[in-house]
């Protein structure tokens, strides 16, 4: 599939993973304002501490990461340099095997929505705003097989 190496994340990587998050968001979330990227940057970095984080590495640096809380994928982000190379699928397989059954996705992020649907997730509900109250509709997805 690839030459990605799966690794367990720790606090020493949180700043680097937050920078990866930002590169990914800038490439995929064209609907998010610059002000909101700044707003979310520290929340993402700080939020990683409470989650189970794994990442894939290529050439000695993180290429993508997944952060799971309980049975929910809270974050999945791939560095744009590695889009389409299997890093996201590899991390979602790990998360699903560990019991993840739910994920949220911005409604406007049609690429991510299609990715999750391809893995067997289906929309079960929708909110008009995100968890911060910002006007980014969020779709709540559940894994439909094996439940």
pLDDT of residue 9: 95
Query: Token digits for 26?
Result: 């800038």
Nearby residues of 20 by Cβ (< 8 Å), 6 or more positions away: 62, 64, 65, 77, 79
pLDDT along the chain (147 residues), means of 10: 87 96 94 93 93 96 97 97 95 96 96 95 96 93 78
pLDDT of residue 140: 98
The C-alpha atoms of residue 21 and residue 109 are separated, in whole angstroms, by 14
How many DSSP H helices and E strands does the chain contain? 4, 7
The C-alpha atoms of residue 74 and residue 120 are separated, in whole angstroms, by 17
The C-alpha atoms of residue 93 and residue 26 are separated, in whole angstroms, by 25
pLDDT of residue 144: 87
The vertex-48 CA angle with 42 and 52, nearest 5°, equals 170
């Amino acid at each position: 599939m690839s030459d990605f190496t799966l690794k367990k994340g720790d606090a020493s990587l949180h700043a680097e993973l937050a920078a990866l998050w930002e590169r990914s968001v800038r490439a995929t979330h064209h609907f998010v304002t610059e002000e909101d990227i700044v707003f979310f940057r520290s929340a993402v970095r700080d939020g990683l501490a409470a989650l189970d984080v794994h990442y894939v590495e290529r050439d000695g640096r993180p290429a993508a990461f997944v952060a799971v809380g309980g049975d929910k994928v809270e974050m999945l982000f791939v560095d744009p340099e590695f889009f389409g190379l299997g890093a996201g699928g590899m991390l979602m397989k790990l998360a699903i095997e560990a019991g993840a059954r739910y994920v949220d996705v911005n409604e406007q992020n049609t690429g991510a929505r299609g990715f999750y649907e391809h893995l067997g997730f289906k929309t079960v509900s929708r909110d008009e705003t995100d968890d911060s109250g910002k006007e980014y509709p969020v779709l709540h997805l559940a894994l439909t097989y094996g439940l």
